[in-house]
Amino acid sequence: MRTNRLRALLASCLLAATLARAEERVTRPYHGVTHIHRTDAEQDYHLVILSPRAMEVVSTDQDQAWSVVSDFAKKVGAQIAINANFFSKTESCGVTAGEGHLWTPVSEGCPMTMAFFSDGRAAIYNVPARSNGAAVPVTGLVAAVSGRPGLVEKSRPSPTLERFASIRHPRTALGLRKDGTLILLVADGRREHALGFTGPEMSEIFLREKAVDAINLDGGGSTTLYIEAEGGIQNRPSDGHERVVVNQLGFRLKPQKGAKRP
């Protein structure tokens, strides 16, 4: 009996300690953008919720490849930016499009593609390997980034996850709500109080945020979140500094009617 009481007391103390450290900071750096930063005893992660009417999408064109996220954002005038595709030493994995230009269409290795179109739509496509991106419409295409695995499909957790997704790591991921609202998930990892997420843990977060589809992008030392209005880099990249990555996904404020972009 005494042992059970001690166990219950210990569990209560651990829960109290976790709750005491749990924090949520909510800011609205731009109209139509909500930034949620959550921390507790195990995790440190960011959610950025973007209205499709608030910002326009910009992603890396071929001549902009290989830079850190903050440099990309400043170069293209993006107020918000994240890292995107997995990559090797020489090329991007999966379908990649920037400035309306499809420059790495082969999907082998990264079959899930998030594509953005000039009419404001966004959609996630499952592109067959060696398909040369044929499953992604080219008409009106503005930007596309790819990753793996899928995390949410039609409001349900994806049925299969790759083995690497069963281990906690820093993560970058994208989700879509039914109304087109975009959800960015950026999770730190590989340090105390920031263990990183598994695929199922990310799926759970996206489902709580009412995502109907979601995919995992590159993670590890590549994971980076930039928000200009809040001082630049928001997370703590696990390398201790930004990593050069092959491509990025950015968002910039839509110009007001009659105003010219600087």
Helix, strand, coil % (nearest 5) of the chain? 20, 40, 40
**Each residue's pLDDT tens digit, 153-177:** 999 999 877 888 999 999 999 999 9
The whole-number pLDDT of residue 89 equals: 87
Query: Is residue 100 in some structural domain?
Result: yes
The whole-number pLDDT of residue 258 equals: 53
Query: Is residue 80 in some structural domain?
Result: yes
* Cα 181 to Cα 175: distance, rounded to the nearest angstrom: 8
Query: Is residue 14 in some structural domain?
Result: no
Range of the domain at 34: 23-253
225-227, strands of its sheet edge to edge: 55-59, 248-253, 80-83, 225-227, 232-233
Query: Is residue 198 in some structural domain?
Result: yes
The whole-number pLDDT of residue 114 equals: 97
The whole-number pLDDT of residue 9 equals: 60
The whole-number pLDDT of residue 253 equals: 92
Query: Is residue 155 in some structural domain?
Result: yes
Domain total of the chain: 1
| Contacts of residue 172, Cβ cutoff 8 Å, sequence gap at least 6 | 82, 83, 84, 184, 185, 186, 187, 216, 217, 218, 219, 222, 223, 224, 225
The whole-number pLDDT of residue 142 equals: 96
Name residue, tokens 């953008």.
33
Specify the amino acid at residue 82. I
C-alpha torsion sign, points 180, 145, 233, 201: positive
Query: Is residue 61 in some structural domain?
Result: yes
**Each residue's pLDDT tens digit, 29-79:** 999 999 999 999 999 999 999 998 899 999 999 999 999 999 999 999 999
From first to last of the 262 residues of the chain, give the pLDDT tens digit.
565 566 656 655 554 554 446 799 999 999 999 999 999 999 999 999 999 889 999 999 999 999 999 999 999 999 999 999 999 988 999 999 999 999 988 888 899 999 999 999 999 999 987 788 888 999 999 999 999 999 999 999 998 778 889 999 999 999 999 999 999 999 999 999 999 999 999 999 999 999 999 999 999 999 999 999 999 999 999 999 999 999 999 999 987 665 454 4
The whole-number pLDDT of residue 6 equals: 61
- CB burial string 83-103: b at 16+ within 10 A, e below: bbbbbeeeebbbbbbbeeebb
Radius of gyration of the chain (CA): 19
Q: Which pair of structure tokens corresponds to residue 178? A: 């039914």
Q: Are 237 and 244 in contact (CB under 8 A)?
A: no
The whole-number pLDDT of residue 19 equals: 45
Query: Is residue 258 in some structural domain?
Result: no
Query: Is residue 83 in some structural domain?
Result: yes
